[in-house]
């Protein structure tokens, strides 16, 4: 029995911006749950963030989670950059508004009750779980567009 919930996430976009999808795989104690969805007009970064948000929203109680993403943007954003953004009133170091601030704030809020370890994996490098959540994200795009992606 594992006390750690493993989470794998990915986002996809057909055009950037364009129709997008997100996918997540949650694994705990030998059980798995797949999640996916999409939006008609979005960006790849927003879908990467949504995958993590929706994975944490699916958790029913506080847990220790190990989340693996192929997005340096998401991993570094939530573990490093967010502290400066908050200190600067959601402005970047160049005084520009932080892109996707709404989703960064939402991600931070849904993570608050959990103990989280972030991991990065190179995308499309043969990692089985990353390939699986990529397919889920593509399913999200397909459901929005009505065509295979």
Q: Is the pLDDT of residue 27 over 70?
A: yes
10 an active-site residue? Answer: yes
Structural domain count, the chain: 1
From the list 11, 21, 23, 38, the catalytic residue is: 11
- Confidence band, pLDDT 50/70/90 cuts, at residue 149: confident
- 41 catalytic residue (yes or no): no
| 131 flagged as catalytic | no
Q: What is the mean pLDDT of residues 130-142?
A: 98
Q: Which position among 30, 89, 124, 126 bears the catalytic label? A: 124
**134 in active site:** yes
Task: Give the domain extent around 137.
Answer: 4-145
Q: Which of 23, 37, 38, 48 is catalytic?
A: 48
The answer to whether 136 and 23 are in contact (CB under 8 A) is: yes
Rounded to whole angstroms, the Cα distance separating 60 from 26 reads 12
| Sequence-ordered list of residues with C-beta below 8 angstroms from that of 17, at least 6 positions apart, any chain | 41, 42, 43
- Cβ atoms of residues 78 and 110 within 8 Å: no
Mean pLDDT value across residues 26-51? 98
Question: Is 124 annotated as catalytic?
Answer: yes
Alpha-carbon distance values, 16 to 43, 61, 88, 100 (Å): 5, 35, 28, 14
Catalytic residue among 23, 37, 134, 140: 134
Q: Is 83 part of the annotated catalytic residue set?
A: no
CATH number assigned to the domain comprising residue 111: 3.30.420.10
Coil/strand/helix, residue 1 = coil
Q: Please report the sign of the dihedral spanned by the C-alpha atoms of residue 115, residue 121, residue 123, residue 128.
A: negative
Please report which residue ranges of 43-100 form alpha helices under DSSP H: 44-57, 72-76, 82-87
Crossing angle between the packed helical segments 101-111 and 44-57, to the nearest 10 degrees? 20
Name the average pLDDT for the chain.
96
Q: Which of 20, 38, 39, 70 is catalytic?
A: 70
Tens digits of per-residue pLDDT, 65-114? Answer: 999 999 999 999 999 999 999 999 999 999 999 999 999 999 999 999 99
Rounded to whole angstroms, the Cα distance separating 68 from 52 reads 9
d(CA 20, CA 17): 8
What pLDDT, on the 0 to 100 scale, is given for residue 50?
A: 98
């Amino acid at each position: 029995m594992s006390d750690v919930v493993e989470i794998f996430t990915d986002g996809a976009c057909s055009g950037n911006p364009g129709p997008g999808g997100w996918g997540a795989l949650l694994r705990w104690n030998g059980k798995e749950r797949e999640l996916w969805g999409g939006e008609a007009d979005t960006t790849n970064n927003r879908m990467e963030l949504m995958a993590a948000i929706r994975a944490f929203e699916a958790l029913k109680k506080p847990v220790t989670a190990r989340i693996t993403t192929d997005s340096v943007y998401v991993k570094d954003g939530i573990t490093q950059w967010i502290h400066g953004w908050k200190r600067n009133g959601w402005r970047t170091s160049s005084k520009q508004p932080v892109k996707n601030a709404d989703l960064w704030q939402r991600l931070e809020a849904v993570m608050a009750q959990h103990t989280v370890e972030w991991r990065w994996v190179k995308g499309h490098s043969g990692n089985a779980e990353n390939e699986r959540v990529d397919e889920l994200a593509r399913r999200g795009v397909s459901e929005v567009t009505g065509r295979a992606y």
